[in-house]
Amino acid sequence: MEELSNAFREILEAVGEDPERQGLARTPERAARAFEFLTQGYRQDVADVVNDAIYDSDASEIVMVKDIELYSMCEHHLLPFIGRAHVAYIPNGKVIGLSKVARIVDVFARRFQIQEQLTTQVADALMQALRPLGVAVVIEAKHLCMMMRGVEKQNSVMKTSCLLGVFKEDARTRSEFLALLAQ
């Protein structure tokens, strides 16, 4: 924490600020704690997060969790991107505890990231943990690196998807997923 705090102090000095002035006196420590929280995914493992929350089940239709809020940091500019993940799978004898899907999203979102990679990591992790017939992940997010710098497009939204197993191979399953997503 001390090393991170010192780095933020150096950043303040590098932009011409006085890290000792009243409004900034404790900012390096606060920023260090914030970054520790925002990057906690580096210190988490999917297996530990899932724990024993995988259960036998006869369910054989799409299981979907929509609108999972996510907050991540663009690895190119260290600015946030904020959005929603929609995650679906088709069980193959096992289901996962509902909150674990959101926790898997957080494990990968709480790292320096690009959205394309985040989408794939969530899908791969769920595929590995459950061995379902298929997994589908769609993430839509607004990127502050695009909104507040560079092209400054405030209404832009990036959408990414990763389809595995039957969601990729079977057009009817993919269409059913997209229909559920649209509701």
Rounded CA gap, 15 and 6, in Å?
Answer: 15
- pLDDT for residue 161: 98
In DSSP terms, 142 is beta-bridged to 82
CB 87 within 8 A of CB 73: no
Q: Where in the chain is the domain with CATH 3.30.1130.10?
A: 51-182
- pLDDT for residue 58: 97
Question: Which residues, other chains included, contact 163 with Cβ-Cβ below 8 Å and sequence gap of 6+?
Answer: 123, 134, 135, 136, 174, 177
Strand residues in 101-182 grouped as ranges (E): 112-113, 134-143, 158-165
Is residue 86 part of the annotated active site? The answer reads no
Cα angle vertex 114, ends 5, 32, to 5°? 10
Is residue 145 part of the annotated active site? The answer reads yes
Q: Catalytic residue, from 74, 86, 113, 176: name it.
A: 74
Is residue 75 part of the annotated active site? The answer reads yes
Q: Which CATH number fits domain 51-182: 3.40.50.10420, 3.30.70.20, 3.40.228.10, 3.30.1130.10?
A: 3.30.1130.10
| Residue whose structure tokens are 């988490």 | 44
- pLDDT for residue 59: 97
Q: Catalytic residue, from 40, 76, 128, 169: name it.
A: 76
Is residue 29 part of the annotated active site? The answer reads no
Residue type at position 172: R
- pLDDT for residue 154: 87
The residue ranges of the chain whose pLDDT is under 50 are none
Q: What are the pLDDT digits (tens) for 7-18?
A: 999 999 999 999
Rounded CA gap, 91 and 55, in Å?
Answer: 10
pTM of the model: 0.94
| Residue whose structure tokens are 């900012």 | 27
